[in-house]
Structure formats: structure tokens, C-alpha cells
Amino acid sequence: MLLNRQSSGERWRARPDGPGKVTGALAYLTDRTAPDMLIGRVLRSPHPHAAILAIHAEKARALPGVHAVLTYRDVPGLNGYGIAVQDQPVLCVDRVRYVGDAVAAVAADTDAIADQALSLIEVEYRLLPIVESPAAALADGAPLLHGDGNILHRTDYKRGDVDVAFASCTHIVEEVYDSPRQMHTYMETEGGLFVPEKDGRLTVHSPTQHGFMDRLQLSRITGMPEERIRILSSPIGGSFGGKDELNVQPYGALLALKTNRPVKIHNSRKESVRAGLKRHPMVIAMKTGIDANGAILAHQVKITADTGPYATLGAEVLNFATEHALGPYRYGSVEVDSVSVYTNNGMSGEFRGFGGNQAIFALEGQMDRLADACGMDPWDFRLRNMRESDAPGPFGQPIAPTNGAKQAWDALEASSLWQERRQNESAATVLRSESSGGMKAPWLKTGIGAAFIMHGSGLGVGIPDPGGGRIKLAPDGKIEVQFGYEECGQGLLASLELMLIEQFGFAPEDLRLVIGDTDVVPNSGSTTASRATTMMWKSLQRLRPGFQKELLAAAAALLGLPEELLRLGRGGIWNSRAIGENRGNRGREADVEYADLAAAAGDMAGIDISGIADTGSGNAACKHGADVDVTEDTEERLLLTYRALAGKTPRPIVAETSFAFPASPFPRTGAHYLYTFAAVAVKAEVNTLTGRVRVLEQYHAVAAGPVVNPQGYLGQIEGGSIMALGYALTEEALMQQGQYATSNLDTYLIPTIADAAGEMAIEPIEELPEGDNYGPRGIGEIGSVGLAPAILAAVHDATGKRLNRLPIDPLQLAERPAFT
Amino acid sequence: MKKQSDLQPAPSSVFHCTVNGEDVQLRLPADKRLLAIIREDMELTGTKRSCEIGRCGACMVLIDGKPVNACLTMAYQCSGKAITTIEGLARPESLHPVQQAFLDEGGYQCGYCTPGMIISVTALLEDIPNPSEGEIEEALSGNLCRCTGYGGIVRAVKRAIDQRRERP
Ligand code: FES
Ligand code: FES
């Protein structure tokens, strides 16, 4: 069933953070200010590669209105950061390696003064040769960007002998796939407010996907104990992986501590482009061979990633790409060799899809070419080579059994879009534009293509992947739920609220959802890798029995009723519908006169035995309470509010859980255990006069288990897909000689509403294998993967041209018009 | 490097306008950007800052009912004008119908583009109560959203149109 508002019924709800967002009342962290606040700015290197000979900050320091000018000498702790490896200098000492490298930081009364102060800092540089590309970095005699060379990380995987296998292949396809430097382009640029507190602590209001990681990193840099730092990290105006790593936080923190004044930093878009992370450009060479029946015998992959000047998560992204270059297919033999290389280009790092987008673009291109080679339909070819439901993962690792591949394949096969393509095929019309679009301008050609995606969730083997959360009855009677996950816009709060309503029976107004505050929430790991929804679901599953039992036991004691007669509901504790029915078994001691209840209730502030008309039961009987024997009654009633319960219970009622994301028992770092599958079909139109491609229609099947939150699910797939549209058609942060050729949204083109036009159908496949209790899989990333390769397939269907580079270059599709 | 003369702020003058119906008098340099005036001087942070070159629409406000990028507008251009920001749309007791439509359809995710988007939709529907798809695309192509893929936004716009039609 297609997912939309109608098919979701009552599960389609206004998000708890919605009113603040549509009214503008919600203050983002970059909207916050404090009295006496200073403005912080960072001086960044103008050169992609240079030695620093001297930094003269005296003039800037002397400027009236300037309160601090910091250089590397002013970093009290570790002058380095990075989630995995701390090799990125907070403030550069003797060398800069990219145009975003920070050399000094300033705090001043106003932005204009801060700006002037930056211009007064004189830095003497000696230019060094620029390492422009991975190829240049790997060449003999290349300048070394780090002490141990230009290679951040190498990884490989081998099964069987591909050379032997290639010898017996009937067809071999070799291709090199080139993918661009894509920018996250979160609408809210990096920034925050940094407040030194009276007691010497530091409060950081700044978006991140993992508050506790920021706390750890800032503790290293400032030398302050972690507990002295408080990170407030939600709401976030978009992140997509780009704000997981530190950005402005070290400068804000150091400036605030130095001046003992609140400091605000909010990057301009230009600075965000220059300093921020991008998706790794990768060059992926694939050689794949099949036998006469279309079975893949050998698959050889070489991945080269441009990771830029520092590590951040470059190694982890490469591991992920290596795994995902294999995908949901069976191979006789496999060999992958991957390398992530330092250059003087911009920083590459974590980005939605995490290396899977590049790998799957290449892999799916390969599948289409192989199908061509053996004359098979491309979708049939994928089925021919598809993994079995109980097959191990790409690295041969044990994974949770899944039939997702076949489910997604079947769904796409049955889709009207793919059926249309099948009909086009069999009609064998010469002019596809006529067959599928009626009479059209002859330079407009339409085609339909598809792609298949297998995407891992969680961080994988060997990487700490904690999860957990806390639920309690707060003193004011709210059910307070605390998680260390962040609201980046994905709808985390809405998903959490809906789960609490559905699993526990609470109403929205009973709840207080607490996230994004390291002083309060448990450390439940990062909000990345499509893991937060799964973790919250699992946490609630684990929390529910204990918490529910404690609440009911406390209520039972107060009410003098057996626990079994009670249940959680809107507003408080209700009598269970089963009371009357079960009465015979329980005997007389279970009987409590309603009058007793009412009397017991009388001295409890907040008890409410009326006003429950909105439960739908139309129950008006409560006012006759004194006459009613609750045990005789199958009507449901609210007996005790949560507030009354909180006021009366002798000790706090709290439940907490922590556990690890399911991982494969397998000795290979990063190998995944849970996988999500998707299939994407797209109809695209190529204008052969201009070479421009327009997407007309999309179909997405996503096999990720139950839909937790329909609105969020739809939004994630739609939003991810349009991000992939940009990846396929327009987005590239080009670099020339280590400088960004684009600095703002006038030349870096993300899709507009006009580009994103066209129908999009989304079909969730909710069924999981029997006995699977890993719960719903995250879908935050998978939607951003498949559209790009599917568009390339559609372009081929329309024009007969196979392209191997993203974004599509219109020049490759434009044809000289023939007027006959 | 900047010359000292470049650094002198433009002389301040007094500007009168209304913001969300209230008379406002501000002593400001004539070239101060409306975006900064709204966000910093008036502390109305619903209007967002993103590209500052007029490309993204996060800063969209209404000036005399027309959608304008506040990042490109200078103080002197606001003199005598009626400015409406996102904070000025809702009534105390109810959301503006366009806001309600965005809430109902989930026409937002991170919400950072949302105030600007809602301002643009409001202006569109005042101008063309029953716009075609093409007119919607044209009116909103100056408002970038990175999260939603525009699906929820288009549904919200259509809902707002339908509800407008149903209202007498
Ligand atoms: S901030 Fe004004 S248009 Fe982008
Ligand atoms: S909702 Fe995030 S940019 Fe539109």
C-alpha cells in the first residue's frame, strides 16, 4: 500500500515540534543570544597548502572592541579534533592544509569589529605545492601532507580468485565511475552560543548529532573535565551528517572561556562552504564478469576516495563504501581494494548514506551494463544474481536473516512504472518518446530505469554502538522520557511521541520529551547511521514492562485495587476493560466499591474521574460514581491521574535501559548486521537539445520493517530522494587548485521546487521475518541513495547512452539537431 | 585590507515603519540590512539567515504584502512600509491558514526554511487564490528546502488552496 496521509489514518499526526516551526517561535541554537554577548569569528587560511612562518595578532588585539584574539598558543588542551582521529588542528601551528584551516579566532563587541580584527591579523605564509587530487597525492615524490604520508586508510576484501574467474567469463564489463563532492547544504549554517557560567562551567548551545561526543572533544581541547561542560544540541536546522563532527564549537568555547563572556558564532554561508564537510568524491573502478547465463563470476573493485586534509570519519566512510560496493548480489569471487587519500581539497566526511551512495551508483551502473552485455532485462538480471534470504552479508558476515531484497524486487516489478517499461520493451517501438509519452517534441526522449539498494544500519562491528534511554514519572506528573538523540528535522520527537502513545497508551499531553542536553539525558550514542529510531523503539520495548509494572503497582497500592485491574492510559491510571470479565476468577477480595475509590481520590490533588469524554467511550457514568461497583463495570474510567500518582508515590518511579546496537559476531571492523533494502524506479525525460534531464515520476519500495511514523517516513524518503536528484543532476562543489569554485547557493545548485516536480510514490514493505525482534529499521539514509543510479538507467533507456559520471554533464546528452 | 575610510558606518537616521502592525521607529544606518534589523534589533528570530544573497528565501518577509528577501533589503527601503514577518501571521487564538496547512500536511522537517516558505505561500495565495502548478513552482522557486524534497510543501500549499476555496 502506498504511504500517504490517507493510508496512514490516525497515525498521521501533527509533530510536537510543528507549532514552533510553522510560527517561527521555535528558537534554534543559532537564534539564541545572551546579555553582554560577544561575536566570535574565525580567521581561515586563504591558501590550500602553506607553511605558517609567523602570526602577528598585536594590531587586532589593540583594536577597541576586541576582547580576545586566539592563536594556537591559546589552546589549553589538545590542539586537535576529530571523532575518530584527532588530527585536525583547532588552530594551526606551522602549516595549513586547506582553505578552511583555522589560524586565529576573535571575539569582539560587534560583527563589524570582529571582521576588522580578522583583517588586522597578519599571517606570514610560505606557499607549498598543492596536492590537488588523490592521483597527485599517490604519485611518486608527492608532497607529504602528514607525517606518515598521504594515505588515511586502506582496506580490502577478497574471496576466491577473481583472475582465475575472469578467464572463464563470457562477458566482462569494465567501467570507472566518478562521483562529485556534494555539499550537505543544511539551511542553518553552523553556529551556536557559548556561555561561561557563574560556577565555572561552560554551556554550549550548538547543533551536533552526538552531544556527548562534542562534550568529550571539547573537554580534550579546553582541558576542562567533561562534567563541567554542558552541551545543548537540539533543535537543528538540518545536518545530514554534516554537523556530527565539531565545526565552530572549539572557537566558541575557547573564546567564551578566555573572555568570560557569552560568545556567539554563526557562520556565513561562504564560511560554511569553505570550512564544512562534503561527501567524499570517489573514483570507483569496477570490472565484473558473468557467464553465458548471466551469473556473476567475478567482481573486482578499486575505490579511491578524496578525503581532504584531515581524517574525521574518512576511514569509516571508506569501510562502508567497500562493503556497499558488493550489495545484494551473489558473486563467484570478489576483490575490493580501497584507499582514502589526503589532499589539499576541502574536508570530506560523514554525509547521509556514508559512502554507500558512491558505491551503489557504481555497482548499479555495473549491473545495467552487464544486463546489456548478456541481453537480459536489467531487473531480471538483478533477480538472477540476488542474494538468498539467509545468505551472509557482503563480507560473508552473519547478518539478521532478511527477505528484504526479494520483497523490494517484487514490489518494484509490480509497480505501474516498471510495468510501463516492460510494455515499452515488448512494444519494441523505435521511438520511445512516442511510445511512452504520446506525441512530443522529437528532441524530448523519455526512459524508465531502476536501481536496487542494500544499506547497512548501525555503526558496524568493532565501533562502540551504545543505545538506551530513560523514562520516569516526574514530580509534576509528566511522563518524562529522556534520550540522547537529536532532532535534526527528521521527526525524531514525533516518532518518539507516537511510539509512547501506541506502546504505553499515554496521551501527548502526558509526555515531556527531553533530548539534546548532556546534563540530563543518558548517553545513548550518536544520531547517525539510521540507528536512532531502532534504538528508541528497542529502548521502549525494554523499558515498558518494568516501568508499567512499577506505575501500576504504585497505583494499585494507592487505590487498594489489584494491579491486574489497572492499565496505563490517557491522563493516568485506568481500570482495565477486563475487570468485569475476569471477576469470577478473582473472587470477592478484588471488589472495591467505587465510593472508596472516590473517597481515596478526594484527598489527592489532581485526580480526575470526569472529563474523559474524549476517550470515545462516551462515558458519563462517573458522576454516579458512588453507586457504581468498578469491578462490576466493563466501562473504562480514569481512576488516578499521573500527577496524583506522582504526588503520592513514596519514591521516584524511573526505568532506564542501555544496550548495544545489534552487531555481527564477526571480526571485521564496520561490517553490518542489520540491512535495509530499497528499489527505485524513475521515469526521466532527456531534452537532447539542451542535454537537460527532468524527472517525471518516481517509485520507491523500502523494506525497513514497520513504519514507526508515517509522516516522518514519507518525509525521509522524499527528502532523501530529492537530495539524490541534486547529486545526479546539478550538485558539485568543484575545486580548482584547492580553492572552491563555488561559494554560495547561487552557484551550488540544490534542487528547487520546480526541479523536484513530478509524482513520487512510496511503498513501505513492513513485514519482517518471523521472530525478528530487532524492530523497525532506520530509513534516514536509504532514500538518498537509489535515485541517482536509477536516473542514469532511465537516461540510457531514453537515449541509449551510458554515463559514468555524476552529476550528469548535459554536454554528454546534447545532440546536434537533425532537421529532416 | 580595508581602508580606514571604508570602515566608517553609514550615518544613522530614523526610520519609521510598521512591523507586524506595530509602529516602529529605529535609528539605524541607512544601509543596515532588514534581516539584521529584524533578527538582532527587534529580536524576531523566526526570519532566518542562510545565504544572504537572495537565493534561498529563508529570510522572506512581506513588505506591503509582497514577498521580499530581507537579506537584500536595506533600512531606507523600509521607510514608511508595512513589514510582516512570520511572527505576524498567526492570530493569538489560531494559526494562519497557511501555517495550519503546513502543520497538517507535515510540510516541514528541520523547519529552518519554513517561515520563509510560509511567507511566500501566503503572498502567492493573496495574489493568486487558485494558482496552477506552474504558478506554485514559480512563486516558490526562490525558497530552498533541503529536507523535505518539497513533497510535503506542495501538499500543504494545495491544502491551503482547497481550504481557502471552501471558506466563504
Ligand atoms: S538569507 Fe536571504 S535569501 Fe537566503
Ligand atoms: S525543512 Fe529543513 S530546510 Fe526545509
pLDDT score for A627: 39
Phi, psi for residue A70 in degrees, rounded to 5:
-105, 140
> A559 and A478, same structural domain?
yes
Per the CB < 8 A criterion, the answer to whether A84 and A14 are in contact is no
The torsion of the CA quartet A745, A748, A749, A750, rounded to 10 degrees, works out to -80
Chain centroid to CA A811: 33
Average pLDDT over residues A765-778: 94
Chain A residues 478-517 with a CB less than 8 Å from chain B = 488-491
The larger pLDDT score, comparing residue B149 to residue A820, is at: B149
pLDDT score for A634: 63
pLDDT per residue as tens digits for the range A204-245: 999 999 999 999 999 999 999 999 999 999 999 999 999 999
Residue from the list B9, B86, B110 with its beta carbon closest to the beta carbon of A238: B110
pLDDT score for A593: 38
Pairing of β A171-178 and β A282-290: antiparallel
Residue A392 resides in a domain: no
Average pLDDT over residues A388-395: 95
d(CA A172, CA A373): 8
Per the CB < 8 A criterion, the answer to whether A238 and A186 are in contact is yes
Q: Is residue B10's pLDDT more than 80? A: no
Give the number of other Cβ atoms within 10 Å of residue A422's Cβ.
Answer: 13
> B25 and B77, same structural domain?
yes
Write out the E strands in A536-643. Answer: 566-569, 572-575, 638-641
Q: Nearest chain B Cα to A725, which residue?
A: B149
Q: Is residue A625's pLDDT more than 90? A: no
Residue B1 resides in a domain: no
Residue from the list A31, A711, A722 with its beta carbon closest to the beta carbon of B150: A722
> A201 and A348, same structural domain?
no
pLDDT score for A577: 66
Phi, psi for residue A310 in degrees, rounded to 5:
-135, 170
Give the number of other Cβ atoms within 10 Å of residue A425's Cβ.
Answer: 14
Residue B6 resides in a domain: no
Q: Which residues of A16-46 are buried (b: 16+ CB within 10 A; e: fewer)?
A: bbbbbbbbbebebbbbbebeebbbbbbbbbe
> B64 and B21, same structural domain?
yes
> A717 and A630, same structural domain?
no
> B160 and B114, same structural domain?
yes
Report the percent of chain A where pLDDT is more than 90.
85
pLDDT per residue as tens digits for the range A156-202: 999 999 999 999 999 999 999 999 999 999 999 999 999 999 999 99
> B17 and B81, same structural domain?
yes
Residues of A in contact with B117 (CB under 8 A): none
| Residue finishing a domain among B59, B88, B117 | B88
pLDDT per residue as tens digits for the range A460-474: 888 888 899 999 999
Average pLDDT over residues B37-57: 97
Q: Which CATH number belongs to the domain containing residue B108 in this structure?
A: 1.10.150.120
> A214 and A87, same structural domain?
yes
Residue B3 resides in a domain: no
Q: How far is CA A517 from CA A260, A471, A523, A772, B139, in A?
A: 22, 15, 10, 33, 39
Protein residue closest via CA to atom 2 of ligand 2:
B110
> B19 and B62, same structural domain?
yes
d(CA B130, CA A296): 55
Average pLDDT over residues A773-801: 96
Is residue A10 less than 8 Å (CB to CB) from chain B? Answer: no
Q: Which CATH number belongs to the domain containing residue A209 in this structure?
A: 3.90.1170.50
Evaluate: CB of B38 within 6 angstroms of ligand 1.
no
pLDDT score for A529: 80
Residues of A in contact with B43 (CB under 8 A): 33
Using the mean position of ligand 1's atoms as its centre, give its distance from the Cα of residue A693 in Å: 27
Residues of A in contact with B146 (CB under 8 A): 184-187, 238, 240, 719, 723, 750
| Residue finishing a domain among B36, B69, B88 | B88
Q: Which of A516, A436, A519, A555 is nearest to A202 (CA)?
A: A519
> Does the beta-carbon distance from A744 to B46 stay under 8 Å?
no
pLDDT per residue as tens digits for the range A379-389: 999 999 999 99
Q: Is residue A437's pLDDT more than 80? A: no
> A607 and A509, same structural domain?
yes
Residue B138 resides in a domain: yes
Residues of A in contact with B160 (CB under 8 A): none
pLDDT-based confidence at residue B132 (cuts at 50, 70, 90): very high
> A301 and A216, same structural domain?
no
Average pLDDT over residues A5-22: 97
Structural domain containing residue B70: 11-88
Q: Is residue A574's pLDDT more than 70? A: yes
* B153 class by beta-carbon count within 10 Å (0-12 exposed, 13-18 middle, 19+ buried): buried
Residue A16 resides in a domain: no
> B123 and B70, same structural domain?
no
Q: Which CATH number belongs to the domain containing residue B52 in this structure?
A: 3.10.20.30
Average pLDDT over residues A133-150: 97
Residue A11 resides in a domain: no
> Does the beta-carbon distance from A753 to B143 stay under 8 Å?
yes
| Residue finishing a domain among A615, A631, A660 | A660
> A345 and A290, same structural domain?
yes
pLDDT score for A602: 43
Give the residue, out of A15, A21, A187, A753, with the most ligand 2 atoms within 8 A of its beta carbon, to mutate for a pocket test.
Answer: A187
pLDDT per residue as tens digits for the range A474-500: 999 999 999 999 999 999 999 999 999
> B140 and B115, same structural domain?
yes
Residue A6 resides in a domain: no
pLDDT per residue as tens digits for the range A439-456: 678 899 999 999 999 999
d(CA A57, CA A71): 8
Domain count, chain A: 4
pLDDT-based confidence at residue A72 (cuts at 50, 70, 90): very high
pLDDT score for B12: 84
CA angle A578–A581–A585, rounded 5-degree value: 105
> Does the beta-carbon distance from B7 to A714 stay under 8 Å?
no
pLDDT per residue as tens digits for the range A507-556: 999 999 999 999 999 998 888 888 889 999 999 999 999 999 999 999 99
> Does the beta-carbon distance from B143 to A186 stay under 8 Å?
no
Q: From the CA of B70, give the closest atom in ligand 1.
A: 2
Residue A351 resides in a domain: yes
Q: Give residue A503's identity as a one-letter amino acid code.
A: Q
The larger pLDDT score, comparing residue A346 to residue A621, is at: A346
ipTM surpassing 0.90: yes
Residue A10 resides in a domain: no
d(CA A755, CA A195): 42
Write out the E strands in B46-86. Answer: 60-63, 66-69, 82-84
Residue from the list A21, A31, A745 with its beta carbon closest to the beta carbon of B45: A31
Can you say whether the dihedral through the CA atoms of B51, B53, B56, B61 is positive or negative? Answer: positive
Residue A18 resides in a domain: no
> A764 and A694, same structural domain?
yes
Whole-model pTM over 0.80: yes
Radius of gyration for chain A, computed over Cα atoms and rounded to the nearest angstrom: 29
> Does the beta-carbon distance from B43 to A189 stay under 8 Å?
no
Q: Is residue A94's pLDDT more than 80? A: yes
Residues of B in contact with A235 (CB under 8 A): 110-111
pLDDT per residue as tens digits for the range B11-20: 788 999 999 9
Q: Which CATH number belongs to the domain containing residue A321 in this structure?
A: 3.30.365.10
Structural domain containing residue A454: 397-462+664-820
**Cis ω for the linkage preceding B11 (within 30 of 0):** no
Evaluate: CB of B62 within 6 angstroms of ligand 1.
no
> Does the beta-carbon distance from A112 to B58 stay under 8 Å?
no
> A39 and A177, same structural domain?
no
Chain centroid to CA A32: 25
> A188 and A149, same structural domain?
no
Looking at the DSSP assignment, which residues form a beta bridge with residue A473? Answer: A479, A653
d(CA B3, CA B10): 15
| Residue finishing a domain among B60, B88, B116 | B88
Residue from the list B109, B149, B154 with its beta carbon closest to the beta carbon of A721: B149
Q: Which of A766, A179, A783, A808 is nearest to A453 (CA)?
A: A783
The distance of A773 to chain B (nearest Cα, Å) reads 29
Evaluate: CB of B119 within 6 angstroms of ligand 1.
no
Q: Is residue B126's pLDDT more than 80? A: yes
> A760 and A818, same structural domain?
yes
Residue B4 resides in a domain: no
Evaluate: CB of B34 within 6 angstroms of ligand 1.
no
Using the mean position of ligand 1's atoms as its centre, give its distance from the Cα of residue B144 in Å: 9
Write out the E strands in B47-148. Answer: 60-63, 66-69, 82-84
Looking at the DSSP assignment, which residues form a beta bridge with residue A482? Answer: A470, A514
Q: Is residue B123's pLDDT more than 80? A: yes
Is residue A65 less than 8 Å (CB to CB) from chain B? Answer: no
pLDDT score for A820: 61
> B67 and B110, same structural domain?
no
Chain mean pLDDT for chain B: 94
Chain mean pLDDT for chain A: 92
Residue B2 resides in a domain: no
> A50 and A88, same structural domain?
yes
Q: Which residue has the cell 516526574?
A: A474
pLDDT score for A506: 97
Domain count, chain B: 2
Using the mean position of ligand 1's atoms as its centre, give its distance from the Cα of residue B50 in Å: 5
Q: Which residue has the cell 551550488?
A: A748
Average pLDDT over residues A116-144: 98
Residues of A in contact with B137 (CB under 8 A): 752-754, 757
Using the mean position of ligand 2's atoms as its centre, give its distance from the Cα of residue A218 in Å: 28
